[in-house]
Amino acid sequence: MSANARPDHTDPIKLVVIIGSVREGRFGLTVGKWFADQAAGRHDLSVDIVDLDETTLPLAMTKPTPGTAHALADLSPRIEAADAFVVVTPEYNHSFPAALKNAIDWHHAEWQAKPVGFVCYGGISGGLRAVEQLRLVFAELHAVTIRDTVSFHNAWSQFDGQGQPVSPEGCNGAAKTLLDQLTWWSQALREARTVRPYVA
């Protein structure tokens, strides 16, 4: 494809689902795998799961060390290649996990002019306060956040022993709404970046 060629709208959107918690005993894998399955069932999406527990990133610094470059060798190309993101996050102390912020901070241009959706979980607040703070972070990175969010209140009681929702109708519908909005923005922004590269 030439630099000015428009992408084929039949090409699947490259979606990266980021599991943001690395805490021992985390519930994020259950929520993340459920959502990734919802996305994988669509013909218009190609899904890549990024589990931050499988990366070893030092604290974000101005210049990467040789060891950091090795740690980023797997993660950064996947972030750069993505057309869209969904961040799966719990709420820790009214905010989101430090490991997630660190992974975000290691990248900049890779987020620009791309849509970001959120799936959150927690206690009574369902992780929504973490999402509100993440919206501010991604706005600074020139990303577009999706209005609708999938939220699990008292999440540990919302899934059975096989990792499936106890009452799937509501959350499956919410996931579809999020993915419908995400793919709309993904297609629009992918075409826009092709026609005119984004300048921050």
> At 172, which CATH number?
3.40.50.360
Tell me, yes or no, whether 5 lies in a domain.
Answer: no
Which residue range forms the structural domain that includes residue 45? 14-19+30-54+80-195
Tell me, yes or no, whether 140 lies in a domain.
Answer: yes
Kindly report the pTM of this predicted structure: 0.93
Domain count, the chain: 1
pLDDT of the chain, 200 residues: tens digit per residue = 444 455 566 799 999 999 999 999 999 999 999 999 999 999 999 999 999 999 888 888 767 777 788 889 989 999 999 999 999 999 999 999 999 999 999 999 999 999 999 999 999 999 999 999 999 999 999 999 999 999 999 999 999 999 999 999 999 999 999 999 999 999 999 999 999 999 98
Tell me, yes or no, whether 182 lies in a domain.
Answer: yes
Tokens coding 131: 């999402």
Cα angle 54, 21, 183; round to 5:
90
Q: Let me know if 81 is exposed, middle or buried by CB neighbors in 10 A (0-12, 13-18, 19+).
A: exposed
On whether the CB atoms of residues 176 and 168 are closer than 8 A, the answer is no
Tell me, yes or no, whether 65 lies in a domain.
Answer: no
